[in-house]
Structure 1
């Protein structure tokens, strides 16, 4: 199922050919019937195939059932076939190709991080490129990751930028938030171990460790364990979420250091995957 509306897909088609296709029209080939195959040129985690197929249909093409987003593909695996007039094929194929390549790049990078995390949840931030959230979220999920936050409306994540406006103790802040939003988990972003211990003592459910190295995550975990051992009342240790610089090459190290959640923006900066497109007359 396409995550993008037909209106959004029509806008993509119009953006590429706002006044028609000059080359195809001038060559006089528009009415010739043709076929277009989309294939993976490399191993990849597919995303955007449903949107690309629907885009082709809106351009007037007939499309075979596409491979589904989330499917692992090997080089030369077929994504889908579109048939119709040369005019329709040339109107749609490049936009469809780019759509699959871009979203599959996000999905493939997310999948690599998920594999490296070895069972620990990988959650992506809301730092997708402006205007791309719907397809970015689909790509993250196609890669097996989760969304850390879809936006500001549904989670309690307290940044230092919030705390500069507070005039109460951490304990008072946590107590007030629990009273006002009792069903929400409270996560606090910290940039050093002392601040982590202070908010753990206050009762934060989770600590987002901003730009901690794996070694610093392990040190923070040890400090929190020592604090809990000397505490006069039992408290559940907070979840430690490693954030900032997390990618496939260091995910395992963060997990080994004690991170229970990996928060990353890396998939949004992934290079596009390579999709081969072959057109022929038929």
Structure 2
């Protein structure tokens, strides 16, 4: 079971989304058409198969509008479901429930889409030993939720933000004057608990990083950026034959058609920006019962 995110992390996002939708005057349609005392019961139901993520967003959206609502969660984040599956059943004040509907569905559909796409990538590399990781290419303001959705789909999280780890990329290297200078500067700046990763764009730069590792001053992780399959396999060979304890991460040019071949080169991690920047919203509906 995937641990749920604490409500305290979800609530500010849900409240901001509700406030955006309610606008300046609230739900004028519900106020005009629905009797004040009316109640309704409905289910969140899947229109397509997928993996659940974000059910607590739906729960909190309803409770923010009707704190006395009754919510029966039929599934939990990380559960796989088929089309037609009931994800949750709710009984609440009709006006409040209808006002929460779109916020609940927007977040639920977005996060289920990410979890489902992640599951597809994880299944594509099954048996290779490679792990699928996300990136920081997330929707502003939704990173905690979207990275949670990746975990629901069986993926792992890369660094959460700029403060999570040192990641030396091509522009850092250009300004510093090379891989060696950049890594040494990073090592001198941080403590023993901070991981250091460096991006390399070719085998020559990899050799520099491997030499530093052999000397006990290199990075913890090397990102192999836009390497073709032959160079990925050679990078793995050089690293393993040298006995280096180093995580190799493949990045760039990754999609569902290419990810299996990339994994079979022997890399440890494959980072996929598409998990969060290109996932389609999964079709979830709210049906009155």
**TM-score of the superposition, structure 2-length normalised?**
0.85
Aligned ranges for residues 82-101 of structure 1 at < 5 Å?
82-101=90-109
| SS at 2:267 equivalent | coil
SS at match of 2:223: strand
The counterpart of 2:169, out of the listed 151, 159, 166, is 159
Find the partner of 2:202 among 174, 180, 192. Answer: 192
Q: Which has the larger radius of gyration?
A: 1
1:189 touches 1:207 (CA, 8 Å); kept in 2? Answer: yes
Give the direction of change, closer, same or farther, for the CA distance of 1:240–1:125 in structure 2 (3 Å limit). Answer: same
Q: What's the C-alpha RMSD, in Å, of the aligned pairs? A: 2.3
- Mapped partners of 1:168, 1:50: distance in 2: 46
Q: 1:116 aligns with which of 118, 124, 128?
A: 124
Q: Deviations along 1:217-270, whole A, 9 cap, x unmatched?
A: 1233345567x4xxxxxx516332110132333221111112111111111120
Partner residue in 1 for 2:112: 104
Please report how far the alpha carbon of residue 28 of structure 1 lies from its aligned counterpart in structure 2 after TM superposition: 4.1
* CA spacing shift, 1:6–1:224, aligned 2, 3 Å: closer
Matches within 5 A, 1:200-279: 200-203=210-213, 204-222=219-237, 224=239, 228=242, 236=244, 238-268=246-276, 269-279=278-288
Q: Give the equivalent residue in structure 2 for 1:41.
A: 47
CA distance in structure 2 between the aligned counterparts of 1:93 and 1:2, rounded to whole angstroms: 21
Does 66-75 or 264-273 show the bigger shift? 66-75
Given candidates 20, 39, 43, the residue that maps to 1:15 is: 20
Partner deviation per Cα, 1:37-70 (whole Å, 9 max, x = no partner): 1111111110000121121112113211352111
Q: Show structure 1 runs of 5+ residues with no match.
A: 229-234
Moved more, 20-29 or 36-45: 20-29
CA contact (8 A) 1:122 1:263 kept: yes
- TM-score w.r.t. the length of structure 1 is 0.87
* Partner SS, residue 257 of structure 1: coil
Shift in Å, 1:189:
0.2
Q: Cα offset for 1:25?
A: 2.1
Residue 76 of structure 2 corresponds to: 68
Shift of residue 17, structure 1, vs aligned partner: 1.6
Paired with 1:259 and 1:93, the residues of 2 have a C-alpha distance of 43
Q: In the alignment, what sits opposite 2:153? A: 143
Rounded to whole Å, the distance in 1 between the matches of 2:12 and 2:185 is: 44
Quote the Cα distance in structure 1 between the aligned partners of 2:12 and 2:245. 48
Aligned length: 272
